[in-house]
């Protein structure tokens, strides 16, 4: 199953439309999409407008591939679960978000080999084909911060003026 998510704050019709077109062209019936508040009516996707956090996580766990906006929460959860993720960053110039911070996020994670990025419907189709064929290494991260980082943060907080001891 392919799980598409746009987050819960705003629609991302460009991404949903691209995936819907891809699913229709490939006669796919295994694509579930959390699409948020939108007037767009996909014809090929099984649509779930909103998911509560436990249901969202269960859906991600069941997915073979995640397709998402470049939101940190979704990216980190996919990496924690070891799921391959394809991101399409929202663009400020298109009014999909307030600025291009998602482009920077996608570029950084892609540079580290942790996500695939698509900037067009053609790239989305190519990346999905490669992910389904297992071309991407499934990176995993821990669900909690490294103990060394936590120790340094605690030491900093404990040494800060006015901090509780």
Q: How far apart are CA 77 and CA 75, in angstroms?
A: 6
Determine the pLDDT at residue 90: 93
- DSSP codes of every residue in 72-141: HHHHHHHHHHT--EEE----GGGTSSSSSHHHHHHHHHHHTTS-EE-SSHHHHHHHHHHHHTT-S-----
Determine the pLDDT at residue 3: 97
Determine the pLDDT at residue 12: 93
φ, ψ of residue 3 in degrees (nearest 5)? -110, 125
Determine the straight-line distance between the first and last CA of the chain, rounded to whole angstroms. 50
> What's the predicted TM-score (pTM) here?
0.85
Tokens standing for residue 52: 């509560």
Determine the pLDDT at residue 164: 64
Determine the pLDDT at residue 137: 55
CATH topology of domain 2-140: Rossmann fold (3.40.50)
φ, ψ of residue 96 in degrees (nearest 5)? -85, -15
Residue 45's closest CA among 79, 82, 104, 5? 5
So where are the chain's domains?
2-140
Determine the pLDDT at residue 145: 74
Length of the chain: 165
Residue 72's closest CA among 16, 7, 143? 7
Q: Which residues of the chain have pLDDT under 70?
A: 135-143, 162-165
Three-state SS string across 117-135, please?
Answer: ECCCHHHHHHHHHHHHCCC
Determine the pLDDT at residue 142: 65
Residue 45's closest CA among 75, 70, 25? 25
Strand order in the sheet with 2-5: 46-47, 31-34, 2-5, 65-68, 85-87, 116-117
Determine the pLDDT at residue 138: 60
């Amino acid at each position: 199953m392919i799980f598409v998510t746009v987050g819960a704050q705003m629609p991302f019709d460009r991404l949903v439309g691209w995936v819907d077109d891809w699913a229709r062209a490939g006669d796919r019936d295994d694509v579930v999409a959390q699409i948020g508040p939108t007037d767009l009516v996909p014809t090929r996707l099984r649509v779930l407008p909103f998911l509560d956090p436990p249901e969202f996580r269960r859906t991600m766990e069941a997915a073979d591939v995640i397709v998402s906006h470049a939101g940190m929460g979704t990216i980190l959860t996919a990496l924690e679960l070891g799921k391959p993720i394809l991101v399409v960053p929202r663009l400020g110039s298109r009014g999909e978000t307030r600025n291009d911070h998602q482009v920077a996020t996608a570029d950084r994670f892609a540079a580290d080999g942790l996500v695939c990025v698509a900037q067009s419907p053609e790239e989305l189709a190519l990346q999905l084909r490669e992910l389904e064929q297992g071309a991407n290494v499934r990176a995993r991260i821990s669900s909690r911060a490294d103990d060394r980082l936590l120790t340094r943060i605690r030491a900093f907080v404990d040494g800060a003026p006015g901090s509780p001891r």
